[in-house]
Chain A
């Protein structure tokens, strides 16, 4: 059941050189027609996930992170217009019919959703719903499936699994329900588990339990993990690589260490700067990013972060920066001025004593002498 993949915990990031990427997403674009026009939720996202690795996708609400994963699973509504390419083990999986997707889902790629209170069907027992996942892809007896369900309940840390297996979802707490969803996701040893904001709807104390269950699932199945969240703390503890998403596009990618300690794109800097830190004096104010994410309807040309970016210049209004490498091949940022942000910290850009700002007259950024 468990294949011998070594889960890389050393966080050196990047793709193992001698393994072909398991999942390749190339130039994925998703848009929705609405009353007021076309909403371009995902605008050309590309990433790769290697077998066994844990990749995080970070972004605010509305950045398109959930939509891009639903596109991979084929779970978007029929009104969505999708283009681009998603390849699993070299085979294109985008644009199949429901039957085609059904062969993949649960067996090769599994998904965990955000709201555990509504994810489970209220009229079937928890054990039934897990066994169902197993029976969908394996020709075994119902008893064996139930036994497997009990096993899985134990793996994700549900106490007294033999009794719990016959409970109904409404008899369990939110944290337990989410662990059941994780059990369902891992039931058939998928190659990729996509976890879409698995802890967002839960209390902090319960979050740890759920994340533990997620790690246990990974350990047992050896699956790669795509962890989507807006919580940087969750990402830091559980992902080797990070992609930062903003307004439907990736704006920075790299290993967790690189992105956390050496961020280059101003948005990433701002995100990290807005986190309260244990090692800073608690008299220091947080530096938030002013403003709000742009509307994805009629998005103007240029970099979408421009209205909120302290080092924005006229070129940012007209030309959208591409995701290009900085420092090393594995770390990339989408900013025209990524060279200038080398070594910068959030306070340098967003704080009241910001050193790196652009002149409003449009000339090149200068260093303001510290007063």
Chain B
């Protein structure tokens, strides 16, 4: 249904036969809402997405706030070796005596940090890439998109591993590499949006008013890609976490002494039969992060770009 905005139209003064002004207020019975308010409403309606947002915030607290309150830290080992989960060590301990809960908290934090780098840098770079390419068109567009296609011809994991081998080890370098691997995809999507916007009248009007290309790109095109970017950013976070764990698994991700959830699972492979808690807890947390982010992304997509008829529930 189209939104009805509650602007009261003016009544011309001397027209015999026009209805008294009180009646015009009857005509508009829906509240005026901005685009973002509508989106927020639609997001809240998507119950799983809203719940996931709550869980994700809890995960953030778990990774970055809780460690300050827990008696063990990830880098100091205790005397309890290979203890299965109990009251003292809710997540058990490993062969060196590190407390499982502290280690998982740290790993979660590191993985989240990597994911954020991927999402922010990847989306940012991809957005600029796509807007410039889509708007300028011609040779620039062809060249930039060919390059994107080229990057996409190399399987992401292989590309990331190859780069990480030489440059990588810390979480933020891994994050940057994975961001670089994801940017071409974002660029293509953004370019698609820009292509459809480029011929619209408001861009033509801006040009006629003398706006420079840069101004048009920054002030008009980029803001219109924000909904698409937001959705893609969340998806990149989820995919990024998973790729980072895969990278760690094949040995080219975050290197010790630094840790991440992927590193933890890799180290716990052999212990599956004897100390399964070392394998399950990090895994569950990866799934939690990726799942909540995926649901949030789904909710955002519904909220910012609703195209299907939805029942009111």
Complex contact flag A–B (Cβ < 8 Å): yes
A contact set with B: CB distance below 8 Å: 32-36, 39, 77-79, 290-292, 294-295, 297-298, 300, 306-312, 317, 349-350, 352, 354, 357-358, 360, 368
Query: B29 and A298: CB pair below 8 A?
Result: yes
* Closest residue of A by beta carbon distance from B17: A310
Q: Which residue of B is nearest A351, CB measured?
A: B17
A-B contact pairs, 17 of them (CB 8 A): A35-B41, A35-B312, A36-B1, A39-B1, A290-B18, A295-B4, A295-B29, A295-B30, A306-B19, A307-B26, A308-B19, A309-B19, A310-B16, A310-B17, A312-B19, A352-B15, A358-B17
Bound Cα distance from A291 to B10, whole angstroms: 10
Contact (Cβ within 8 A) B28 A295? yes
Pick from A32, A308, A309: contact of B1, CB below 8 A: A32
Q: Which residues of B contact A349 (CB under 8 A)?
A: 17
User: Mask for B282-313, Cβ within 8 A of A = 1, else 0?
Assistant: 00000000000000000000000000010110
Complex Cα–Cα for A298 and B4 (A): 13
Verify B23–A306 contact, CB threshold 8 A: yes
B30 contacts A297, CB within 8 Å?
Answer: yes
B27 at the interface (CB under 8 A from A): yes
Once A32-B1, A35-B41, A79-B309 are accepted as A-B contacts, the answer to whether A357 and B17 lie under 8 Å apart by CB is: yes
Residues in A with CB closer than 8 Å to B138 are none
Chain B interfacial residues counted at CB < 8 A: 22
| Nearest 4 A/B pairs, CB to CB | A310-B17, A357-B17, A307-B23, A298-B29
- Tell me the residues in window 3-26 of chain B with beta carbons closer than 8 Å to chain A beta carbons: 4, 9, 12, 15-20, 23-24, 26
Given A32-B1, A35-B41, A35-B312, is A294 in contact with B17 using a C-beta cutoff of 8 Å?
no
Tell me the minimal C-beta distance from B260 to chain A in angstroms: 42
Known contacts being A306-B19, A349-B17, is A34 close to B27, with CB within 8 Å? no
Dominant SS at the A interface? loop
Contact with A along B132-157 (1 / 0, CB 8 A): 00000000000000000000000000
Residue from B16, B26, B309 in contact with A354 in the complex, judged by beta carbons closer than 8 Å: B16
Report the Cα distance A78→B26, complex, angstroms: 30
Closest to B4 in A: A295
Q: Which residues from A are CB-within-8-Å of B20?
A: 360
Shortest CB-to-CB span from B10 to chain A, Å, is: 11
Task: Please give the distance in Å from B2's CB to the nearest CB on chain A.
Answer: 9
A295–B1 alpha-carbon span in the complex (Å): 11
Q: Is B31 an interface residue (CB 8 A)?
A: yes
State the CA gap A297–B28 with chains docked (Å): 9
Minimum CB–CB distance for A300 against chain B, Å = 5
A176 to B41 Cα, complex, angstroms: 43
Q: CA separation between A169 and B26, bound complex, in Å?
A: 46
Residues of A within 8 A of B17 (CB): 310-311, 349-350, 354, 357-358
Residues of B within 8 A of A292 (CB): 9, 27
Which among A34, A78, A291 is the interface contact of B312 at CB below 8 angstroms?
A34
A294 adjacent to B23 (CB under 8 Å) = no
Most interface-central of B9, B26, B31, B41 (chain A CB within 10 A): B26
Give the interface centre of A35, A78, A298 by most chain B CB atoms within 10 Å: A35
Chain A residues with CB under 8 Å of B28's CB are 295
Partner of A79, one of B16, B19, B311: B311
C-alpha spacing A166/B16, complex, angstroms: 61
Give the complex CA separation of A319 and B306 in angstroms. 39
- Residues of A near B26 (CB, < 8 A) are 294, 300, 307
